[in-house]
Amino acid sequence: MAQRSRTLEGVVVENSFWQGRRVFVTGATGMVGTWLVKELLATGAFVVTLIRDADPQSELFRSEDYRRTTAVYGRLEDFATLERAINEQEIDTVFHLGAQPIVGVAHRSPLPTFEANIRGSYNLLEACRIHPDLVKRIVIASSDKAYGTQPVLPYTEDMPLQGQHPYEVSKSCTDLLAQTYYHTYQLPVAIARCGNIYGGGDLNWSRIVPGTIRALLRGERPVIRSDGTFVRDYVYVKDIAQAYMTLAEQIAKPAVMGQSFNFGPESPLNVLELVDHLRQIMDCNHLEPDIQNTAQGEIKSQYLDTTKAHSILNWKPHYSLVDGLAETVAWYREFLAYDAG
């Protein structure tokens, strides 16, 4: 297994596994994709990124990490773009993170969400299937949302995937498609089902962590779209980047290939509790939350059992909630100061 030494200020990596390996990352301008690219570059990987929109505010561009990657511009919905990237760049490892990631957007516009998340996933899997001489490992980013509403919590990997609302269904389908390609074509794939991921670089302000931090920095009351009692896992983006890489490194093992793994902190809390943590970290206890109770298409309670990841992959999150949130707040302080000019 790969060896890494870590500090709270960052991750210092010594890992020959990734040195020179040709890696394709979809969703590279998203929050998780950005931090995964950083990790891969730090290990000496040759990184190819799929970019739909060259957003200058994305951490991939602000950090200029994109200059150290080979960029393929295109959409997941375009099979030819994906196949060309894999073939011409001689891709060995694929991380499929690309998706329309916002529950509210999916609720308002299900068709483009289905096109990106479902068509995009089977396009990517098929492009990998027709190049078995190249692609040796594929990590698919699923979600705890793929489980839908379950009568018993926490979610375990053997529970059925039964999303009901548009975003949940798109993740259930992505997950099932990956399983199909493994069981039918023996594609070397593994699936990551993560809790709510937070961290610097998330510019989807409707999400609770970046939206709350921005409001507090502006001296405004943070908005809670639900009633505040919805329960979630919150896991730091750097821990998830490491989880994806660990999964890829071990995918050849019989206990890993074709399998799904939950990744989360096993310490669920409700939205009000999360907002209170941020108010305390930012010394903004005087700014009471604005509870609007207008959320649609959201599951009331979700959290994960991560025993399988612990026992098979030897993975555990490194960051506590407070440490992860503190780093995240620091990132947004710098970003929003820069953004304000």
Catalytic positions are 167
The Cα 73–Cα 57 span in angstroms is 17
Q: Considering only CA atoms, give the Rg of the chain.
A: 19
At a CB cut-off of 8 Å and minimum separation 6, what does 298 contact? 103, 165, 226, 230
Q: Read off the tokens for 188.
A: 């070397």
The Cα 132–Cα 278 span in angstroms is 47
DSSP code per residue over 9-30? TEEEE--GGGTT-EEEEESTTS
CA distances from 339 to 33, 62, 212, 334 (A): 21, 11, 17, 9
The Cα 25–Cα 49 span in angstroms is 5
State the residue for tokens 């793994």.
261
Q: Which of 32, 35, 63, 29 is nearest to 49 (CA)?
A: 29
Q: What angle, 0 to 180 degrees and rounded to 10, lies between the N-to-C axes of helices 208-217 and 321-339? A: 60
The answer to whether 71 and 53 are in contact (CB under 8 A) is no
Pairing of strands 234-236, 196-198: parallel
At a CB cut-off of 8 Å and minimum separation 6, what does 33 contact? 25, 26, 27, 49, 60, 95, 97, 98
The Cα 106–Cα 100 span in angstroms is 8
